[in-house]
Structure 1
Amino acid sequence: MPVDLAVLGLGPLGLSAARNATAAGVRTLGYEPAPGVVEELTAGRAPADGSLSAPELRRMLKSGFTPTADPDVLGRARTALLCAPTPAAADGSLDLTAVLDAAATLARRMRPRTTVVVESTVPPGATESVVRDVLETGSGLRAGRDFQLACAPGRPDDSPRVIAGLTPACTEAAAACYGRLTDKVVRARGLREAETAKLLENNIAHVNTALVNEMAILCHDLGVDLWDVLRCADTRPPAEAFRPGPGVGGHDVPVDPAQLAAPRRAFGHPPRLVALARAVNDRMPEYVVHRTTALLNEHGKSARGARVLLLGVTHRPDLADQTGSPAREVAARLTDLGADLTYHDPHVPQWSIAGRPVPRVDSLYDAAAEADLTVLLQNHRVYDLQGLAAKAQLLLDTRGASPAGVAHRL
């Protein structure tokens, strides 16, 4: 029996796409080859990264969402979304291994008139070149003639969707699909424009975060209240709030445009801003440790042997996803300095650094009272920072979430 939609890759991106589709009444298959994932989802157990809640998953399953590790069922899909992860490689480029594997798996079973949409973040030109080549080689079909090929980079659920196709007919096929899933579809001029729009969105966030991270360091050196500066600056419309923090994590990685061309292309005016922003954000865990040791020194204590409690080790508040969390580097650096670490996170029952378990505290207020320094790295809603500040010997708030005057803030 034909299926309206197949989602290849059941990470945060794919599960978000499947959730939107099932909510719109679209019969959806979810394909994931990684061991254990399908079994967990089929049993109604939500992913550990917190990208999908158990009630949401139950609603999806009840609405006809079918997770599967059987690639043969992909041949039944009228539309297929490639949602495999494309993490940053060591050189700053995007690792396309998973998305090309997904494309190859689909190609061997794809039928004529299938619409294939790349939701994964890919470099400009990748959909038209490498993804298209894998699909055509594996299927014996031709994109734009025998099947439709488009790009619709992943976005938050309530955002308009940017789409583009290899041909005008491909664009309209994708528009018909996403017209059922979102209130607004934005047609890009071409595949490269749609792909580049996603990279720009990611890089805007990282460049602006780097700016406020540098302001955090400058304001501390000047003795200026950074958080009051931000409060005042936010009153100028239109303003999108960016905030400093201990580092930048998550699935939407910054990508240096100079690393995108394959084969490498010579740029007449090589872009530098994104690489500089990444360097600024990457040094924030080191700066947090610097502030930590300085606070301890000011109170007559050395980092070696100091009892340090870390609060929140995930990269987003109120979710379990630890992808790229700066907490790991902060903890590793403090461990190297000889600090005695403990942690608390309501979403992370076990945590280790370099293969060594970090003790998890259960009685939060007692642990804060016993620690020489408590460091807030992620502000989960369960944390009462006013109450914690009253109990803690020292509290360093890297998120600016505590009331003014009750803690040392970044």
Structure 2
Amino acid sequence: MLIDKINNKQAKVGIVGLGYVGLPVGVAYAEAGFRVTGLDVTQARVKMLNRGESYIDDIQSERLLPILANGSFKASFDPSVLAAQDAIIICVPTPLNKTQDPDLTAIKAATKDIAANLQRGQLIVLESTTYPGTTQEIIQPVLESRGMKVGEDFYLAFSPERIDPGAVGSKGWRFENTPKVVGGVTPQCRELAVALYANVVEKVVPVSSPSIAEMTKIFENVFRVVNVALVNEMALLCDRMGLDVWEVVRAANTKPYGIMQFAPGPGVGGHCIPIDPFYLTWKAREYDFHTRFIELAGEINLQMPYHVRELTIRALNRSDKGLHGAKILVLGVAYKKDVSDFRESPAIKIISLLEKDGAHITYHDPHVPELQEGHVTYQSVKLEQQTLNEADCVLIITDHSAFDYEAIVREAKVVVDTRNATAKVGENRDKIVLL
């Protein structure tokens, strides 16, 4: 029986999608003693992994070598390998399209591949973030189209990913010790999915259905995006009133109850926060419901890059310099501190706005050597004294730990700091323009 295979770690686990979510999940199962086969559509990724080379910040290549050597992990781009798996976990991207509607192309493609290779007794789990109802409305009908029935011939569940890129080293949060929410289509589906995760994850939280689990993930990110928007709106108001929002936030956070720490910033980025709430607003229209609170939060966060442009203009005005023709050095283009992921990064929008106004942009990011936006490719420049001296304005978008902020402020003509990264800089504070 499948439950015995899972509990004895004899189950073969397939991971569909080997990105920021799928690779950490696959490695965790392989290290726990399961036989893992990772499937990815990018052949270059597959070849890198099979050579023991990681392209994900939180998975060092050193972790791949032992599990490759003992046969616990291998990567493939051949969907037929899915037929040999006991459990299959789907970890593919779920972006928005140009009209801000959910793009389930990758989920549908993965489901089609699984359906073509579906075997009796297999457990399928979706981890990709999506709107409530996806598991049963999109995946289940395709899997059942060949005559097998969920809960009897195969098993289906949803368990939202909770990967926090860049947090492994600083907070210790990783796949294995972050609680895992699990909802199955039937009680047996849930039981098997809970058992699968319980062998690797320290705490599993069962819920009554896939839709509850799907909504849980959306709510987590809506909670964050709304609170980020709130503190960003406070930043905009404090700017009008001539108040230091960072001092306000710092003082407010001394209250031991009734408040949670959120910081203002140049916008929101990454694979979750700017995208996931729109999945819910899209689904809500089906029920004649408008998520006004969420949509307002999105509007506020989208305004922050424009505010950063305004701050840059103000900073240049200090030396009677206009934005047109100005040399702007952007520090950090990743969407968050100490990661290489620049998906939906506010830096991309800010660079675009500044270039449209005639500014000359260069950037430095120790984690992102190359940035491609549309048809334009940027190369990270060396962060040297001369680079800082020559810039008319240095713009801190991402507060990487590797930056020497004392030296940056000392050598720069003027600094726009959108992250309060220069808080501990003691000298030359008159050069700093804070968000």
Structure 1 unaligned spans of 5+ = none
2:7 match: none
Q: Which runs of 4+ in 1 moved over 6 A?
A: none
1:128 match: 136
Aligned residue type for 2:202: D
**SS in structure 2 opposite 1:317?**
coil
Cα deviation for residue 141 of structure 1 reads 1.3
Cα deviation for residue 292 of structure 1 reads 0.4
The CA distance in 2 between the partners of 1:229 and 1:248, in whole Å, is 21
Cα distance, 1:259–1:23 mapped onto 2, change above 3 Å: same
Does the 8 A contact of 1:21 with 1:181 survive in 2?
yes
The CA distance in 1 between the partners of 2:423 and 2:407, in whole Å, is 11
Does the 8 A contact of 1:254 with 1:278 survive in 2?
no
The answer as to 2:267 corresponding to 1:260 is no
1:153 to 141, 160, 176: 160
The answer as to 2:299 corresponding to 1:292 is no
1:50 match: 57
- CA offsets 1:349-378 (integer angstroms, 9 cap, x no match): 223444234453214332112111000111
Cα distance, 1:60–1:320 mapped onto 2, change above 3 Å: farther
The answer as to 2:129 corresponding to 1:107 is no
**SS in structure 2 opposite 1:309?**
strand
1:82 to 81, 90, 93: 90
The CA distance in 2 between the partners of 1:391 and 1:68, in whole Å, is 49
Does the 8 A contact of 1:350 with 1:360 survive in 2?
yes
The answer as to 2:349 corresponding to 1:326 is no
Cα distance, 1:333–1:134 mapped onto 2, change above 3 Å: same
The CA distance in 2 between the partners of 1:81 and 1:123, in whole Å, is 18
Cα distance, 1:360–1:119 mapped onto 2, change above 3 Å: closer
Cα deviation for residue 44 of structure 1 reads 2.1
Aligned residue type for 1:299: S
Aligned residues: 405
Using the size of structure 2 for normalisation, the TM-score is 0.89
The CA distance in 2 between the partners of 1:75 and 1:277, in whole Å, is 44
**SS in structure 1 opposite 2:21?**
helix
Cα distance, 1:56–1:222 mapped onto 2, change above 3 Å: farther
Aligned residue type for 2:26: A
The CA distance in 2 between the partners of 1:352 and 1:266, in whole Å, is 39
- CA offsets 1:274-309 (integer angstroms, 9 cap, x no match): 111111111211111111012112321101111110
The CA distance in 2 between the partners of 1:316 and 1:330, in whole Å, is 15
Structure 2 unaligned spans of 5+ = 1-9, 164-174
Aligned residue type for 2:434: R
The CA distance in 2 between the partners of 1:354 and 1:109, in whole Å, is 37
Aligned residue type for 1:227: W
**SS in structure 1 opposite 2:238?**
helix
Percent identity between matched residues is 35
1:408 match: 433
**SS in structure 2 opposite 1:273?**
helix
Aligned residue type for 1:93: D
Does the 8 A contact of 2:91 with 2:128 survive in 1?
yes
RMSD: 1.9
Does the 8 A contact of 1:344 with 1:364 survive in 2?
no
The CA distance in 2 between the partners of 1:51 and 1:280, in whole Å, is 31
Does the 8 A contact of 2:323 with 2:357 survive in 1?
yes
The CA distance in 1 between the partners of 2:247 and 2:313, in whole Å, is 25
The CA distance in 2 between the partners of 1:305 and 1:164, in whole Å, is 55
The CA distance in 2 between the partners of 1:212 and 1:189, in whole Å, is 34
**SS in structure 1 opposite 2:286?**
coil
2:21 to 10, 13, 28: 13
2:227 match: 208
Does the 8 A contact of 1:312 with 1:380 survive in 2?
yes
2:364 match: 344
Aligned residue type for 1:75: A
**SS in structure 2 opposite 1:5?**
strand
The CA distance in 2 between the partners of 1:360 and 1:149, in whole Å, is 45
